[in-house]
Amino acid sequence: MHWRTRILHAQAAQSNDFHALATPVYRGSTVAFERVADIADDWRQKDGAYSYGLYGSPTVLELGARIAEMEGAYHSFIVPSGQAAISLVYLALCKAGDHGLVPISAYGPNRALAADLLKGFGVEVDLYDPGIGAGIANLIRPNTRLIWTESPGSATMEVQDIPAIVAAAKARDVLMALDNTYAAGVLFDAFAHGVDISIQALTKYVGGHSDLLLGSISVANSALYERIGTVRSQLGLSVSPDEASLALRGLQTLGMRLERLERSTLEIATWLSTRPEIAAVFHPALPSCPGHELWKRDFTGSASVFSILFSDDIPTEQVTSFVDALRLFQKGWSWGGTTALAMVYPEFKRSDADYSGRLVRLNVGLEEPTDLIADLERALTT
């Protein structure tokens, strides 16, 4: 054979018996079958019988299996981002004429998807007050298919009464999904509390280093596995093994990072709560956070993201200058990595409150908390 052919059909190969502790990065679209009888095209890839890279390489499936093990799920799907996890749950479970519910405190792009794309598809999604608890029963209609929860909520950090919402949903046979990103899938046990679907932005704590985007959808049973898996393959949502490999590495230090982040964050949030400029600190472990009692009852810990509300006698320009004056806290979206972040919300209105320009979300990193406090103190007094 010509070398050009031999290069493509080489006989040389290394043995696979390299028992490294890390899962290899398996790249591949096509997977080769031994014989015609072995040819399969099934996204389930049952019993290690791989059929196509789109359905998950061993690296990606390993990540899913580990997330499922951590969360106590029937199965965990890995998707390209946290937002992809949210959109896939909607698209798999809602069709034209269906109704859904999402808390007003939910991650913004979740609400944006509901108000735009889903509305165009004939799916109607209503917003509800995250503090509604058992009162959610009054919002459930005969065509309600899906109730979203997110606890604590984005930016305003309301902790939800998940058991009460689960009970109301189960009584009416409605599926209930939780965005469990804050808890990294571990600080709140979604499945022990009866949730049907728990999603995470792995981008945050599992990735943990602000260098990847991934999401997970963990399901409680085989019926949800079938529905979500089928629609995922129809949509062609695939994940790179490199991203999955980084997330597998992130998992190795998740326990240690969460422990340290919890301690540093509590120290900083407690310090901020003594400052005269700050009207409220929305951190689930502090009594000033809406739903703090529920957090104490249901969670095993707190994480690194929380918000501060400047008192209303402070002009919004002063809040902007405070954020601009921060040096260690970088200004940027997302959170859960190793560095401290700050984000101000110029427009932030709720039916009962206007926090525009006064709400600042902080993410604490792995810096020494004394240095972060010094940074905050300097920025508050400049």
Ligand X SMILES: *Cc1c(COP(=O)(O)O)cnc(C)c1O
Query: Which residues would be at the binding site for ligand X (CB under 6 A)?
Result: 81-83, 107, 150, 154, 179, 181, 201, 203-204, 213, 215, 334
Q: Which is nearer to ligand X, 202 or 219 (CB)?
A: 202
Residue 326 CB, nearest approach to ligand X (Å): 21
Shortest distance, position 291 Cβ to ligand X, whole Å: 15
Helix (H, G, I), strand (E, B) or coil at 77: strand
Write down the least CB distance from residue 55 to ligand X, Å. Answer: 21
Residue 137 Cβ vs ligand X, minimum distance, rounded to whole Å:
25
Measured CA distances, 117 to 73, 98, 260, 377 (Å): 29, 14, 40, 44
Residue nearest to ligand X (CB): 82
**Which one, 118 or 213, has the nearer CB to ligand X?**
213
H runs (alpha helix) in the chain = 3-8, 58-71, 82-93, 108-113, 119-120, 162-171, 222-235, 241-273, 292-298, 316-325, 369-381
Residues 6+ apart with CB under 8 A from 131: 158, 160, 161, 290, 291
Cα distance between residue 371 and residue 353, in whole Å: 33
Nearer to ligand X, 320 or 334 (CB): 334
Cα separation of 297 and 164, whole Å?
A: 13
Cβ distance to ligand X smaller for residue 81 or 218? 81
* DSSP helix, strand, coil percent of the chain (3-state; round to 5): 40, 15, 45
- As measured in angstroms, the least distance from the Cβ of 104 to ligand X is 14
Cβ proximity to ligand X: between 284 and 379 the closer is 284
Tell which phi-psi region holds residue 224, choosing left (phi > 0), alpha (psi between -120 and 50) or beta: alpha
Going by C-alpha positions, the residue among 220, 201, 222 that lies closest to residue 212 is 201
Work out how close the CB of 204 gets to ligand X at its nearest, in angstroms, rounded to a whole number: 6
Nearest CB to ligand X, comparing residues 343 and 379: 343
